[in-house]
Amino acid sequence: MIDIDAVINLHREGQIALPSLRSASVAAEEARAAGLQVKLNLVLDRSDAETLALAEEFAARHDAVLHQVAYGDLSKSRNHAVDCSSARFLGFLDGDDLWSSNWLIESYRFSVEAGERTICHPAWNVIFGAKQVLFPHPDQLDRKFSKSELLTRNCWTALSFARREIYAAFPYQPNRLDLGFGFEDWAWNLVTIENGYVHRAVPGTTHFIRYKTSDSLRDRTTGLGGLRTPPDLDQLLATARSSC
Amino acid sequence: MFEVTKALRLLPLYGDWVPHWVPHWVAVERFGALFDARHYRGQVATLGRSERELVSHYESVGASQGLSPSPLFSVEHYVAQAGDEAILDPLGHFRSVGWRQGLDPHPCFSSRRWLAKFSQEVEQLGDPVSHYLMGGWRSGYSPSDFVALKYAESRLPLMFRGRVEPLSYILKQMIGPFNRPHPCVSESHLMSRLRQRRIEPTPNAIWHQVAEWDAPWSPSPLFDTEFYEATYPESAVHPRGPFGHFLETGQYQDFDPNPYFNSNWYRSRYGRKLSGESPFLHYMTQERTLRFDPGPDFSTRHYYRSQVMVRRRRLSPLEHFLERGCYTQATIQSNSIPAFVRDQILEAAEFDGEIRGCLKTLPQLKVYNRHFRHRVTRLFAILKTLIDRPFSAVVFVPFLSRGGADLEAIHLVRWLQETRSVDDVLLVLTDSDVTKSLDWLPPGTRTVVFSHLSTDISESDRIQLVQLLIETYRPEVCHNVNSRVMWKLVATKGKALSLLTRLHATLFCFDYDAQGRRCGYAVEYLPQSIEHLDSICVDNDAFRRAMIEELPLPKHQAGKIHSLYSPTKPFGRAIGVALRIARLSAGKSRPQVMWAGRLDRQKRPELLVAIAARMPECDFHVFGGHVLDQHDPLTEVSSNVIRHGEYREFFELPIEDMDCYLYTAAWDGIPNALIDAMQSGLPIVTPHVGGISELVDETTGWPVHPGDDPEAYVATLRSLFADPQEALHRVERGLDRLVQQHSWETYAARSAMILDPVARRSTPVVIGGEGALVR
């Protein structure tokens, strides 16, 4: 049985995806060196030719699995990877971000030790590119962490690591920016906490998050002044349709 | 030096020159130490200085009048426990039987607590307070759970420490960060609570509120209710809530009041210096020495050095951080980047050139403050405790003054309560704490005032509070009656919100700025919001037509705008009509003209002044104050203008003495003052602006043309006074108009048609001729 499915979500990153893929392969190697079975999965959602070619070459060299989808939505791409996976654990990486080399092995060890209801995040994020900031992740079990803070801000990025069952039980909700709803990672963090899962920061690990001058999803979400997607959005839409 | 010390020791006992706030009790056999001459003299300033005179006054008059003999004896608090038998001589009652029954002389003094410790000594001195005052306080034992005597003493000026009894000293002054008996007494939190409960902040009310803290949220930034309850679950079932648990038990058993105070860590680090005190109280007493930290993450010295305000005002670093600093990116220790992060940046830099850029700037890299908090989260937690149960309809208003928009909001609340239930409707004051017309609301109306959550809330916090309220409670409908905060939210996030709730708004008229440019909510927010709104109600049809014709609104949205005439007041009635007509017919007395409304630019009080100057044969009675504008327009007026100031209710004015109602506004909808005046049977003289012509025309009043010409008003008023029979006819027709157009039944039926989606689907809305539906 595969221990970890490492999922790299790609869109139209082009050459920018190379450092991400390299960091993923290094992290996978480190985990394999510790005796784990790790499979790399590249999910390409409406990607361009350059990204596809680059991904194909990488897949061939690293024995990675290529998934081509056409959702045009990051949440659905992640859910697709979950549906295709049979591994015990899953870890997500966006095609322009990087993992520290110890991310997969350390979060695996941490998850096994901390228990089944654990969702792992890196202890630190290094935001680089157009903006440079160091961003530490809070640990939900830290006495200074307040759950009510989640009402007004997202505490963790989407690049988490957890048991596959958790992602299967709580699929990411697609963003509905056309309706003014976004922040799929924030909504997912909230819904998992409400269901008793615990978000932890894995000591000694770092993610590198590329901050671009223009990020289509970020810009559209904040520009629209969107709300966090509620868990019952589908129900709300059905009610709205029936009352029209 | 010795002489000075000796003299200071004698201060509280003898010196008449001692500052007024130093306790000065007089040992009288009957009162023990419970008569403080200086304290008593403060209440009867006219009395002489003689102590004998003061004691005698208290015995003969003061006791029965409820005057307090000592800062440690609150008559109000005591009588509330002892009942009527103690009213005439509360102090005597306490000294003779009260303390033995466990009654407390003051919210800050627990007789039972003191007796449990000093029962034998108390017997000798006659009552527990006398024992406390006559030396008991020197034991360091606190007379109440929320009096930390060592901490209280540390608040005293250096020269009085150890010499002056600290509790009386503190009680004699205003509560504040340097004057409080326990660190967990916060002036700002207390005042917010008193405002929420609409209690005047008298000293007794303040201390009573501290002693009987009944809010489910914290009375102090130092006490984090959510943290405490989560860490010590047993505190949730304490009769006085988690804070009561902390006072009674937690503070003595090393329970941490907030996540930044770590008692175990503190004890392990400073254990030898505690000398019997609990870590938390020891830290708060010693904090200003900067030699102690509350926990491993918080450096008192760092915070003190980095926060100018804390340094300048000698504030508590920990309290300041928890109250303000954590909401402003203040750091609590010097930022250091962990070594592994540096190593991993180096490693990743090999893959990505842009990460190499981080390496160069690493020492200067901004580190996001992990201790930063959003203040609105705390405010919303308090708001939730005030709301405490669900509701299906909410009405947002900016404030509750005594104007037409306020009355309109209250009509809406009443209609919603009638169609749902009183408990199912929430009224939210979003923009300020003006609550003048709370008494207009139906009894039992659930009301929350954002400004009562804290003394300083920014507009962005208010907007977010409304958003959280809708996201969390998901009311079926949200009505906005002039709340700017709500308009701003709907303009930016209306699309998503309209899926969570049905959004409605009420508008009144266009406004105009000082340069005559059109402004107001309809202009500023409606074009970008109308798509998300279910309906927009306006109180006159002229404005509805004007909005459709003149605003850049999508054509298919125009059908959402409806006219809804305001109802008359249920208690309103025609007053003194026959007498007025007889008076005018006799023509012997000076006509009395009434002008009632806001003395603001919109209402053109300067026009009134010009009219009055041209009509010396009449008296002009002006009721109202200025609300929006700062300057007083009536500083120079002719002698026939009589000002009466602000009024509470139109029907409380001397209507029977008035001969007509004069209105002079430059723009308006259908003002409620005109509806009131018509209902009261007063002949009305008014310009034809906004929707006024839908109420007042040539058959129901005296429209003035042109409405800005004082001469036209003069001519109209004189013609009114010259024909009293015509005045009677128009008054009668005006009353008929009100019955047809402004009755509660008409309002309720029309509201149901507009605001109830079921009713709306079954009733066709006639666009473009809506006025006809209710005529």
Note the pLDDT tens digit of each residue in A196-206: 999 999 999 99
d(CA B363, CA B356): 13
Q: Which two tokens stand for residue B614?
A: 């041209």
Range with lowest mean pLDDT among A59-68, B206-215, B307-316: B206-215
Confidence (pLDDT) at B200: 85
User: In the structure, what pLDDT confidence band is assigned to residue B573 with cuts at 50, 70 and 90?
Assistant: very high
The CB density around residue B600, as the number of other CB atoms within 10 Å, is: 19
Strand, coil or helix: A220: helix
Confidence (pLDDT) at A40: 98
The answer to whether the beta carbons of residues B583 and B659 sit under 8 Å apart is: yes
The answer to whether the beta carbons of residues B191 and B202 sit under 8 Å apart is: no
- Sign for the pseudo-dihedral over CA of B87, B91, B94, B96: negative
Exposed, middle or buried by CB within 10 Å (0-12, 13-18, 19+), for B727? buried
Confidence (pLDDT) at B474: 96
Confidence (pLDDT) at A222: 63
pLDDT one-digit tens code per residue, A59-78: 999 999 999 999 999 999 99
For residue B219, give Cα distances in angstroms to B146, B182, B215, B386.
12, 11, 8, 14
Confidence (pLDDT) at B629: 58
**Candidates A129, A148, A180; nearest CB to B495:** A180
Establish if A138 touches chain B: CB-CB under 8 angstroms: yes
The CB density around residue B202, as the number of other CB atoms within 10 Å, is: 11
Query: What residues 246-285 of chain B have any CB closer than 8 A to a CB of chain A?
Result: 259-260
Place of tokens 């008076």: B583
Q: Which two tokens stand for residue A105?
A: 């092995």
Residue A214 has pLDDT above 60, yes or no: yes
The answer to whether the beta carbons of residues A125 and A201 sit under 8 Å apart is: no
Which chain A residue's Cα is nearest to B297?
Answer: A144
The CB density around residue B458, as the number of other CB atoms within 10 Å, is: 10
pLDDT one-digit tens code per residue, B684-716: 999 999 999 999 999 999 999 999 999 999 999
User: In the structure, what pLDDT confidence band is assigned to residue B211 with cuts at 50, 70 and 90?
Assistant: confident
Number of Cα atoms under 13 Å in the Cβ half of residue A195: 15
What sections of chain A are H helices per DSSP?
17-33, 49-62, 74-84, 103-114, 164-169, 184-194, 216-223, 233-243
Q: Which two tokens stand for residue B690?
A: 């906004």
Residue B294 has pLDDT above 80, yes or no: yes
Give CA angle at A182 (A176, A188), nearest 5°. 110
The answer to whether the beta carbons of residues B551 and B526 sit under 8 Å apart is: yes
| A148 contacts B380? CB cut-off 8 A | yes
Establish if B339 touches chain A: CB-CB under 8 angstroms: no
The residues near A157 (Cβ < 8 Å, ≥ 6 apart) are A121, A125, A137, A185, A207, A209
- The gap from C-alpha B584 to its chain's centroid, in whole angstroms, comes to 47
Give CA angle at B464 (B458, B465), nearest 5°. 90
Confidence (pLDDT) at B12: 43
Give CA angle at A99 (A98, A104), nearest 5°. 150
Establish if B297 touches chain A: CB-CB under 8 angstroms: yes
| B376 contacts A152? CB cut-off 8 A | yes
User: In the structure, what pLDDT confidence band is assigned to residue A244 with cuts at 50, 70 and 90?
Assistant: low
d(CA B609, CA B710): 9
Confidence (pLDDT) at B7: 38
Q: Which two tokens stand for residue B293?
A: 């930290």
Q: List, in sequence order, every residue forming a beta bridge with B519; answer none if it has no partner.
A: B511
Confidence (pLDDT) at B58: 87
Establish if A133 touches chain B: CB-CB under 8 angstroms: yes
Residue B389 has pLDDT above 80, yes or no: yes
For residue B727, give Cα distances in angstroms to B218, B654, B730.
62, 19, 5
Cut 0.90: pTM above it: no
Helix axes A233-243, B484-500, angle to 10 degrees: 90
Per CB-CB distance under 8 Å, the chain A contacts of B376 are 152
For residue B502, give Cα distances in angstroms to A96, A112, B531, B683.
41, 47, 12, 41
First vs last C-alpha separation in chain B: 92
Average pLDDT over residues B144-171: 91
The answer to whether the beta carbons of residues A205 and A103 sit under 8 Å apart is: yes
In the chain, the amino acid numbered A146 is S
Confidence (pLDDT) at B771: 33
How long is chain A?
Answer: 244
The CB density around residue B318, as the number of other CB atoms within 10 Å, is: 27
d(CA B12, CA B135): 12
Confidence (pLDDT) at B458: 94
pLDDT one-digit tens code per residue, B270-287: 999 998 899 999 999 999
Per CB-CB distance under 8 Å, the chain B contacts of A226 are 493, 496
Place of tokens 């615990």: A198
Nearest to B39 by CA among B15, B72, B78, B9: B72
The residues near A216 (Cβ < 8 Å, ≥ 6 apart) are none
d(CA B196, CA B452): 6
d(CA A39, CA B207): 66
d(CA B244, CA B260): 20
User: In the structure, what pLDDT confidence band is assigned to residue B429 with cuts at 50, 70 and 90?
Assistant: very high
Average pLDDT of the residues of chain A: 93
The answer to whether the beta carbons of residues B134 and B33 sit under 8 Å apart is: yes
The answer to whether the beta carbons of residues B470 and B497 sit under 8 Å apart is: yes
For residue A156, give Cα distances in angstroms to A97, A173, A211, A230, B352.
15, 16, 16, 18, 23
Which chain A residue's Cα is nearest to B758?
Answer: A243
Average pLDDT over residues B38-44: 84
Confidence (pLDDT) at A218: 62
What ipTM goes with this model?
0.94
- The gap from C-alpha B256 to its chain's centroid, in whole angstroms, comes to 31
Range with lowest mean pLDDT among B356-360, B403-407, B706-710: B356-360
Q: Which two tokens stand for residue B289?
A: 């020495």
Residue B47 has pLDDT above 70, yes or no: no
**Candidates A100, A144, A204; nearest CB to B347:** A100
pLDDT one-digit tens code per residue, B312-343: 999 999 999 999 999 998 999 987 789 999 99
Confidence (pLDDT) at B638: 84
Confidence (pLDDT) at B19: 46
User: In the structure, what pLDDT confidence band is assigned to residue B630 with cuts at 50, 70 and 90?
Assistant: low
Nearest to A172 by CA among A75, A45, A73: A75
User: In the structure, what pLDDT confidence band is assigned to residue B215 with cuts at 50, 70 and 90?
Assistant: confident
Which chain B residue's Cα is nearest to A156?
Answer: B370
Establish if A141 touches chain B: CB-CB under 8 angstroms: no
Confidence (pLDDT) at B198: 83
The CB density around residue A51, as the number of other CB atoms within 10 Å, is: 21
Residue to test with chain B: of A15, A29, A128, most B Cβ within 10 A? A128
Residue A219 has pLDDT above 60, yes or no: yes
The percentage of chain B sitting over the pLDDT mark of 90, rounded to a whole number, equals 66
Confidence (pLDDT) at B468: 97
Exposed, middle or buried by CB within 10 Å (0-12, 13-18, 19+), for B619? buried
Supply φ then ψ for residue B289, to 5 degrees. Answer: -75, -15
The CB density around residue B716, as the number of other CB atoms within 10 Å, is: 21
3-class DSSP string for B525-565:
CHHHHHHHCCEEEECCHHHHHHHHHHCCCCHHHHHHEEECC
Residue to test with chain B: of A13, A29, A124, A234, most B Cβ within 10 A? A124
* Residue of A228 and B760 predicted with greater confidence: A228
Average pLDDT over residues A178-193: 93
Confidence (pLDDT) at B627: 62
User: In the structure, what pLDDT confidence band is assigned to residue B24 with cuts at 50, 70 and 90?
Assistant: low
Per CB-CB distance under 8 Å, the chain A contacts of B380 are 148, 151-152
C-alpha Rg value of chain B to the nearest Å? 33
Average pLDDT of the residues of chain B: 89
